[in-house]
């Protein structure tokens, strides 16, 4: 193999590893119960929150929510609801986009499903 192509297999392996890593990070955790509020919360989270917080809650532009981070950052549900409703710093306000039931659903999903991921 010519010297300039010897690193090609290593480069392909590195790219493949990145793709596999991205794929494992690319699915929002499923709801393991038949609770319709959690199912709705997952749907809202995927549509409204995952572009910043990541599908698995691992963070990105937005803060990390998995590995119990959401529970540490917002020990009370009301504190988390206020941030989602009114926004803060880079976090946009969703109070005009989501009704109270939808806000409650996404909070439950982040606290009961995402928080235990990681």
Read off the pLDDT of residues 10-63 as tens digits, 9 standing for 90 and up.
Answer: 444 444 433 333 333 579 999 988 999 999 999 999 999 999 999 999 999 999
* Higher pLDDT pick, 5 / 40: 40
Angle, to 10 degrees, between the axis of helix 100-112 and the axis of helix 77-86?
Answer: 120
CA pair distance 56, 25, nearest whole angstrom = 6
Q: What CATH class is the domain 28-116? A: mainly alpha
* Higher pLDDT pick, 9 / 44: 44
């Amino acid at each position: 193999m010519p010297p300039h192509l010897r690193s090609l297999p290593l480069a392909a392996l590195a790219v493949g590893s990145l793709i596999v890593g991205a794929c494992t990070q690319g699915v929002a955790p499923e709801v393991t119960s038949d609770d319709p509020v959690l199912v709705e919360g997952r749907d809202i989270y995927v549509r409204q929150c995952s572009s910043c917080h990541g599908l698995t809650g691992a963070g990105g532009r937005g803060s990390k929510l998995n590995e119990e981070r959401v529970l540490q950052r917002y020990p009370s549900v009301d504190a988390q609801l206020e941030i989602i409703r009114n926004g803060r710093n880079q976090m946009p306000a969703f109070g005009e986009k989501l009704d109270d039931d939808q806000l409650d659903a996404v909070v439950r999903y982040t606290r009961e499903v995402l928080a235990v991921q990681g």
